[in-house]
Structure 1
Amino acid sequence: MNAILLIIVFLLVGVILQKVKSLPPQTPKFLNYYLIYIVLPAMALRYLPGIEMKLELLLPILSAWIGFGLSWLLFGWLGKKFNWGKSVTGCLVITAGLSNTSFVGFPIVNALYGEEGIKIALLIDQAGSFILVSSVAIVVASIYGTEKKRKRDITRKILTFPPFLFFLIAMFMNLYQWQVGGFLAQVLEIIAMTLTPVALIAVGLQIRINPEAMRSKFLWYGLGYKLILIPAIVLLLFKGVFNLGGLLLKISVIEAAMAPMITATIIAISHDLEPRLASLMVGVGIPLSFLTVGIWYLILG
């Protein structure tokens, strides 16, 4: 419970800082850059080389792919059946299908489950969510978007993204059982400790909610899938069919239950897929997810 209260406090700090006029408007962007270019690579080097690689680790990674795949199937079918229009359908597929497994997910997992939980969350994010948002999500956006499809060098984009690049380096180190030690390990540990406060303050600075727009039925369809349906499916599937348990099951469900990914929202907006709805999915989804994730945490025990 103390961990959840700590999360709420840092989030509220970010929301309150929105009222500080002297704060530069680019502050959230700078904080995000710090997280992307420094904290996430540092965490990859700190935690991933020491992970004992097991076949069962594929299931947590698979949870991200299941979430996006089912989102595409469900909203693609509903969109055709009820004639929602390609823009609405594409927006829901992308924003409801991708979890905020890093900026929101990492600090929550770190607060609730500690270092061992972070190791699993990193695998879900890098081998699951990031590859999806950098490749499949762009394909979906091109299919449902109004603009002509543009050729993108997806492979180059993935391999040059710092967290994923360091993910590959860390996994190479894991393969040869190399680990960072000494003073450098201490530096990486200190940097990793800044994740929770910085990420949550950055999220708090970016939360924007329009009460009138919250009446949209599509918003609640998307959030209902993202915050309730897909984590329930992951829980039932992994526990009932694959007999997965312990920390692997808990992190898989918790990460599946996270709010929509900010990067996914940017992709939807850039392809003109209902920008207002896409923004609401994040703006409403992130604060609401703190309640629903807390419920899932209690259910998992």
Structure 2
Amino acid sequence: MFNNPLARIHLCGSPRHGSQLDLARKEAFVFVAIYSIFVFMFLGYFANRVRLLGDRQGNILLGFLLNFALPSAIFTGVYHSSVSLELLGLFALALVCNLVAGALAFVFVSKILRFDFGTSLAMAFLVSLHNTLFLGVPIVQGALGEQAAHKAIVLDQFCTGLPLAVLTPLLLSLSSKTKFRIQSVLVRLFASPLFLSMLCAFALKAMPFSIPEVLFAPILALAACATPVALFAIGVQLRFDFLRLLWRKVLVVLGFGMFVAPLLYLAILWLFQVPLQEDHQMVLLEVAMPPLISAVAVIARAGLDSKLAISCIVAGVPIAAFSTPLWLYISHL
């Protein structure tokens, strides 16, 4: 995670201006986080362009990320987070909004725009799964702090990790690559170090004793590598040549994923007159993230349009830099 230098700045003012100052501080933190995100991604893109990294080094980097750094970040995040039933309800609401936005996108592109079934399926898949870990967690930490980032890691597993495990075999089945089986979902889940690290963290939280913080030192060191390594890996995968040809489809995917889904979430909260607190804002920022990086591999495996997936990720990251302060502002209205 990022050590934000702006966290040492204290903004003082009268109660009348407290909310405006708080919003200004959060937006400043977001810009610092986004600046760091772009630096790490640029380094990865630069390394790829000048051939500092080959496929072998990239696979080693990805293996370290998925099997060590990210599980460490998830373990420490889940263990140190305070997850209430109310927060789990917000996670469920976020998941429903993502899936409804995906369903609406499928209907829109298949019935109105008349895209073929495979393209419509790929676009709905991209809308439903968001980059809540690689991109969302550092942005949440920049905007709302470390405790909110811990909760965002838990959200990622409920709103992205679990749905990915279910939707991947379903997508492969619908694209006629395999037959959908519940067994394949369970195998995918329990073979994932990310899911297992979450289960271990919840199991240890339920114990009548706490783990001494000194034992977390190596885990925290590995977790600290997760964000820069993940963003670096995103930069390595960036491709800009597809975006020019697919920009209309990209706008549809990002419109439904980054704007319709969070608007649905806000509309439900406002309908029930729920005052927006920090947890609500954290979930809002995560729901507004661009598509999941792993969706590229899944869509390619299904024989669908992986170029569209890459283009959505490329365009989604800079859009998130502008949309995140907008959602923070709206959440303070």
Above 0.5 in TM-score? yes
Does the 8 A contact of 2:79 with 2:201 survive in 1? yes
How far off is 1:80 after superposition? 4.1
Residue aligning to 2:10:
none
Computing the radius of gyration from Cα coordinates, the structure with the larger value is 2
Amino acid at match of 1:59: G
Q: Does 1:261 align with 2:308?
A: no
Alpha carbons 1:64, 1:129 under 8 Å: kept:
no
Q: How does 1:202-221 map to 2 (within 5 A)?
A: 202-210=233-241, 213-221=244-252
1:186 maps to 2:221? no
Aligned residue identity for 1:123: V
For residue 130 of structure 1, report the CA deviation from its aligned partner.
0.8
Q: Note the alpha carbon deviations across 1:164-213, whole angstroms, 9 max, x for none.
A: 10101111112225433243212222222223322222211211112663
1:147-178 CA distance string (max 9 Å, x none): 45354621021012001101011111122254
Correspondence for 1:119: 150
Q: Structure 1, unaligned stretches of length 5 or more? A: none
Instruction: Count how many residue pairs are aligned between Structure 1 and Structure 2.
Output: 300
Verify: 1:30 aligned to 2:88, yes or no.
Answer: no
Aligned to 1:9: 39
1:227 aligns with 2:258: yes
Identity of aligned residues (%): 22
Residue 42 of structure 1 is matched in structure 2 by 72
> Residues 212 and 182 (structure 1 numbering): CA distance in 2 closer, same or farther, change over 3 Å?
closer
> Retained in 2: the 8 A contact 1:91–1:273?
yes
User: Is 2:48 the partner of 1:18?
Assistant: yes
> What 5-or-longer segments of structure 2 have no aligned partner?
1-27
- The separation in 1 between residues aligned to 2:164 and 2:207, in whole angstroms, is 29
The answer to whether the Cα contact below 8 Å between 2:130 and 2:286 also exists between their aligned partners in 1 is yes
Distance in 1 (alpha carbons) for counterparts of 2:60 and 2:141: 22
Aligned match of 1:56: 86
Q: CA separation in 1, counterparts of 2:33 and 2:243? A: 32
**1:55-204 correspondence to structure 2 within 5 Å:** 55-82=85-112, 83-143=114-174, 145-147=175-177, 149=179, 151=181, 153-204=184-235
Deviation at 1:244, TM superposition (A): 5.1
Q: TM-score, normalised by structure 2?
A: 0.81
Q: Give the 3 Å change call, closer, same or farther, for CA 177–239 of structure 1 in structure 2.
A: farther
Q: TM-score, normalised by structure 1?
A: 0.89
Q: 1:238-253 counterparts in 2 under 5 A?
A: 238-241=269-272, 243=274, 245-253=276-284
Separation (CA, whole Å) in 1 of partners of 2:217 and 2:178: 49
User: Matched residues in 1 for 2:212 and 2:251: separation?
Assistant: 47
Look up the equivalent residue of 2:142 and give its one-letter code: A
Q: Amino acid of the residue matched to residue 291 of structure 2?
A: P
Mapped contact 1:64–1:99 kept (Cα < 8 A): no
Report deviation, 1:285.
2.1
1:96 positional shift: 1.3
* Distance (Å, rounded) in 2 between the aligned partners of 1:279 and 1:18: 16
Measure the CA separation in 2 of the matches of 1:160 and 1:244: 40
The one-letter amino acid paired with 1:171 is F
Task: List, as ranges, runs of 4+ consecutive aligned residues in structure 1 with deviation greater than 4 Å.
Answer: none
Contact 1:31 1:199 (8 Å CA) reproduced: no
CA apart distance, 1:69: 1.9
Aligned AA for 1:106?
Answer: V
Q: Matches of 2:294 and 2:33 in 1, distance apart?
A: 26
| 90-99 vs 37-46, greater mean Cα deviation | 37-46
